[in-house]
């Protein structure tokens, strides 16, 4: 049997499979067949007579473990079911179940998920009478998690002067006390969170040497996948388990270490040889996934990192096309370019949408891409996150906007009446709803007259909320959608609430609100859009979120959108990496130290190596930030790619005032469905004495003048639900449909 599967491996892969004794490290370059090597190495051990109960194989996802076990079973049969194979958390939870009494926990302890932990922390903060804005549960949990991953116990945390000074400097001196209460409450409840599964395994092995010896004798062979992603706690557990037999094999790629923000420590793989001087190293350097140009481009980028294990990744695949770099005038145009490119390649190369992926640094970047894809009726799916308009913070903000426009929108009202918190609890909301039902009034009518139904303190809070919404409605009647939304975001307290949360999730939510406002700003800045009101914007997004997104979700053939972190381990025929600008990628928060910058470069390397046949890199020279158009500089990473592998396809002419892609879009527009084709206004300048006319008696055949579109002839008038639309054939820009109540027309 051994000879059969060894024939399927190249020389480096076969050598790694055959080496079963002593410590070894398999450095697996992107697309080099890592999973195949791990699978056959375990199969080879079983073929050599090793008992499957003596093999421990640790992975980072249940999916990886399941797939590997299935492959091994195909080679060696049902014995594969007896392997100790799974994620760190699943394997050590299993051990802790058996040994729980040694550390004072019940055998059937509860495992808290993140929401359970946050709820408990919220209760503790309330009981300690602390400021819940200062001690947000996600921030506190993040701090506790980071401590546990570094094996810092409660006692060490509260007694360490450096940690105490850090918390005091952050104006959160009570985190240690919360950690103390949290650990005590978990223990009292017989519960562990995810970090405890690793933390308590270390405690178990440290305090009970007999237990450690037991598992050292069971696990004669230890294998760890994705070793570059291990944290200190995981490193220590595997080192202890392998200390007796020293048959440890770690597999990974330092160039793909991208999870430092979760506690991953790249030095675990870089310094592995220090723990095992007799280490044997195998390098899997042949990339089976990508074209030669893509592999060489990736190599030219990653060579700039100083902290790395040197390897020479190569490909025997075709040369492939050069990597395209597209320069857009704005993030909005960047989305259009990407969407057009996908549409053209799908048609010309007879591909499916499943062959395409758009990768970005932050979730907020999906908005411009989603809107551009929708306009071309291209189906898409979001991986590793919700569709932009389905995210909680976006739905919260949109609920404020909806309630401003329509006070009787009960779902919007119920969503935000106590967000941000204003002292209107569930009991009060239930009473308001019941009162409305009993008196046959709408919920808004009850809320607006709350003092009639509730005692003064609560009634004032509820009516205060109603007055707030009424003031937004007054503003919306005078200002455009962007000015109104910007005021509501700030005045409602949402911006302040999200800004106060400095966790990774909190920063992402804050960025998403910024991106929503950017989208509204682009909406009102569109020169072809007559109605720039909040009501018009809400109608626009309601049409796409209710129908298009549902259709996209239901359609199996769709373009994949995801962050680069979510894309690790995946591959696509055509890949678009968007937003390659300084302060976005690399992130502004990741350019303060060499270690952070090198992590960002590794992230770019991961993104490049997801592509099989074609890679397109894009950046914008301007991007909206909080409603202001900011100039952008292209990412330093673009300059690090060896020029011989890159085709800078287009370049914007400085000061031209026109899109650098006009000729490209015009050429591609012939491939598009008719609704997607648009004519761009050339910027007509009206005379100084221009004054709009009364259009109530406008008729077909009349000549008119428009301040932006110039001269034209009315071809048709349509009246629907009390509104009249004029279809006008303009001399310069072609046919336009204008709402007469908003259009500024001079009848000639």
Residues in the chain: 748
DSSP state of 14: H
513 touches 394 (CB < 8 A): yes
**83: phi > 0 → left, psi -120 to 50 → alpha, else beta; which?**
beta
Structure tokens at 432: 């308001």
Q: What 3-state DSSP class applies to 584?
A: strand
Please state the three-class secondary structure of 71-121 as a single string: HHHHHHCHHHHHCEEEEHHHHHHHHHHHHHHHHCCCCCCEEECHHHHHHHH
Q: CA of 517: how far to CAs of 380, 477, 493, 748, in Å? A: 23, 18, 15, 39
Q: Determine phi and psi for 712, rounding to 5 degrees.
A: -160, 175
532 included as an active-site residue:
no
Phi, psi for residue 306 in degrees, rounded to 5 = -85, -40
Instruction: Give CA angle at 14 (11, 20), nearest 5°.
Output: 140
Residue 57 and residue 71: Cα distance in Å, rounded? 14
642-672 per-residue burial string, b: 16 or more CB within 10 A, e: under 16? eeebbeeebeeeeeeeebbbeebbeebeeeb
The residue among 253, 309, 352 whose CA lies nearest residue 569 is: 253
Identified catalytic residue from 167, 195, 225, 497: 225
Q: Cα separations (Å) of 25 from 37, 68, 108, 496?
A: 12, 19, 37, 48
- Counting runs of H as helices and runs of E as strands, what totals does the chain give? 32, 22
Q: Does residue 48 carry a catalytic annotation?
A: no
Annotated active-site residue in 59, 238, 256, 308: 256
Is the CB of residue 359 less than 8 Å from the CB of residue 610? Answer: yes
393 is catalytic: no
Active site residue 143: no
Which whole-number Å values give the CA distances from 690 to 687, 710, 711, 747, in the listed order?
A: 5, 11, 12, 11
Cβ-contact 192, 228 below 8 angstroms = no
Instruction: Indicate the DSSP class of residue 530.
Output: S
Q: CB neighbours of 483 closer than 8 A, spacing ≥ 6?
A: 475
Nearest to 730 by CA among 714, 746, 748, 747: 714
Question: Cis (ω within 30 of 0) for the bond into 120?
Answer: no
Nearest-angstrom CA–CA distance, 284 and 311: 9
Query: Which tokens hold the place of 413?
Result: 């009202």
- Out of 602, 610, 623, 746, pick the active-site residue: 610
Q: How far apart are CA 309 and CA 305, in angstroms?
A: 10
Are residues 80 and 46 in contact, defined by beta-carbon separation less than 8 angstroms? Answer: yes
Active-site annotation holder among 99, 196, 226, 522: 226
The helix, strand and coil proportions of the chain, stated in percent and rounded to the nearest 5, come to 50, 15, 30
Q: Computed from CA positions of residues 599, 602, 608, 612, in that sequence, does the dihedral angle turn out positive or negative?
A: negative
Edge-to-edge order in the sheet of strand 24-28 = 84-87, 55-59, 221-224, 248-252, 24-28, 280-284
Active site residue 548: no
Contact of 17 with 9, CB cutoff 8 Å? yes
Catalytic residue among 34, 148, 174, 602: 34
Catalytic residue among 20, 35, 625, 713: 35
Distance CA 409, CA 389 (A): 18
C-alpha 613/C-alpha 349 separation (Å) is: 12
What residues contact 316, with CB distance under 8 A and at least 6 apart? 286
- Exposed/middle/buried for residue 361 (C-beta within 10 Å: 0-12, 13-18, 19+): buried
> Is 234 one of the catalytic residues?
no
- How far apart, in whole angstroms, are the C-alpha atoms of residue 434 and residue 432? 6
Active site residues: 34-35, 225-226, 256, 610
């Amino acid at each position: 049997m051994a000879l059969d599967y060894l024939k399927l491996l190249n020389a480096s892969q076969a050598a790694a499979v055959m080496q079963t004794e002593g410590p070894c490290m398999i450095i697996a370059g992107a697309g080099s067949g890592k999973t195949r090597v791990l699978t056959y190495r375990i199969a080879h051990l079983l073929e050599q007579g090793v008992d499957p109960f003596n093999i421990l194989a640790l992975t980072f996802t249940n999916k990886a473990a399941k797939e590997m076990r299935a492959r091994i079973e195909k080679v060696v049969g049902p014995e594969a079911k007896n392997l100790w194979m799974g994620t760190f958390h699943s394997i050590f939870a299993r051990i802790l179940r058996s040994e729980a009494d040694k550390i004072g926990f019940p055998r059937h302890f509860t495992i808290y998920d993140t929401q359970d932990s946050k709820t408990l922390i919220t209760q503790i903060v309330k009981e300690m009478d602390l400021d819940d804005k200062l001690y947000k549960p996600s921030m506190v949990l993040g701090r506790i998690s980071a401590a546990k991953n570094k094996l810092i116990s409660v006692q060490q945390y509260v007694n360490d002067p450096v940690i105490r000074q850090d918390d005091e400097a952050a104006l959160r001196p009570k985190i240690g006390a919360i950690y103390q209460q949290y650990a005590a409450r978990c223990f009292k409840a017989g519960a562990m969170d995810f970090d405890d599964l690793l933390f308590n395994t270390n405690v178990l092995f440290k305090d009970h040497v007999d237990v450690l010896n037991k598992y050292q004798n069971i696990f004669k062979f230890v294998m760890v996948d994705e070793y570059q992603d291990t944290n200190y706690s995981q490193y220590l557990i595997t080192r202890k388990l392998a200390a007796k037999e020293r048959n440890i094999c770690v597999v990974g790629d330092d160039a793909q270490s991208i999870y430092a923000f979760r506690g991953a420590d790249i030095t675990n793989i870089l310094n592995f040889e220090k723990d095992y001087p007799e280490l044997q190293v195998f390098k899997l350097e042949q990339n089976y996934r990508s074209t030669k140009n893509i592999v060489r481009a990736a190599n030219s980028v990653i060579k700039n990192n100083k902290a790395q294990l040197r390897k020479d990744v190569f490909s025997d695949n075709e040369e492939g096309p050069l990597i395209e770099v597209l320069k857009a005038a704005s993030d909005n145009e960047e989305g259009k370019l990407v969407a057009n490119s996908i549409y053209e390649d799908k048609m010309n190369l007879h591909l499916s949408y499943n062959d395409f992926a758009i990768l970005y640094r932050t979730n907020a970047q999906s908005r411009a891409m989603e809107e551009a894809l929708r306009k071309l009726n291209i189906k898409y799916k979001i991986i590793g996150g919700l569709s932009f308009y389905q995210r909680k913070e976006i739905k919260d903000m949109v609920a404020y906007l909806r309630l401003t426009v329509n006070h009787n929108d009960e779902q919007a009202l119920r969503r935000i009446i106590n967000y941000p918190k204003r002292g209107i609890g569930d009991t009060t909301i239930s009473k308001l709803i019941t009162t409305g039902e009993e008196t046959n009034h709408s919920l808004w009518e009850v809320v607006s007259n709350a003092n009639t139904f509730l005692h003064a303190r609560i009634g004032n809070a509820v009516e205060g909320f109603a007055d707030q919404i009424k003031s937004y409605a007054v503003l919306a009647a005078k200002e455009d959608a962007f000015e109104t939304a910007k005021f509501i975001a700030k005045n409602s307290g949402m911006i302040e609430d999200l800004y106060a949360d400095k966790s990774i999730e909190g920063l992402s939510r804050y960025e998403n609100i910024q991106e929503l406002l950017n989208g509204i700003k682009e909406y009102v800045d569109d020169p072809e859009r007559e109605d720039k009101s909040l009501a018009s914007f809400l109608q626009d997004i309601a049409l796409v979120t209710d129908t298009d997104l549902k259709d996209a979700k239901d359609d199996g053939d769709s373009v994949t959108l995801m962050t680069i972190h979510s894309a690790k381990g995946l591959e696509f025929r055509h890949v678009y990496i968007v937003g390659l600008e300084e302060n976005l990628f690399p992130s502004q928060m990741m350019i303060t130290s060499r270690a952070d910058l090198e992590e960002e470069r590794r992230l770019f390397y991961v993104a490049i190596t997801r592509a099989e046949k074609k890679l397109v890199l894009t950046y914008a020279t301007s991007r909206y930030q909080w409603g202001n158009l900011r100039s952008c500089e292209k990412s330093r990473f673009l300059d690090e790619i060896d020029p011989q592998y890159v085709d800078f396809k287009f370049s914007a002419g400085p000061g031209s005032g026109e899109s650098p892609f006009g000729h490209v879009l015009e050429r591609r527009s012939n491939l598009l469905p008719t609704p997607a084709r648009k004519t761009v206004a050339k910027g007509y300048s009206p005379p100084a004495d221009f004054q709009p006319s009364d259009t109530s008696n406008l008729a077909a055949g009349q000549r008119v003048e428009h301040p932006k579109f110039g001269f034209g002839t009315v071809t048709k008038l349509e009246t629907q639900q009390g509104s009249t639309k004029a279809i006008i054939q303009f001399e310069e820009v072609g046919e336009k449909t204008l709402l007469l109540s908003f259009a500024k027309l001079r009848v000639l």
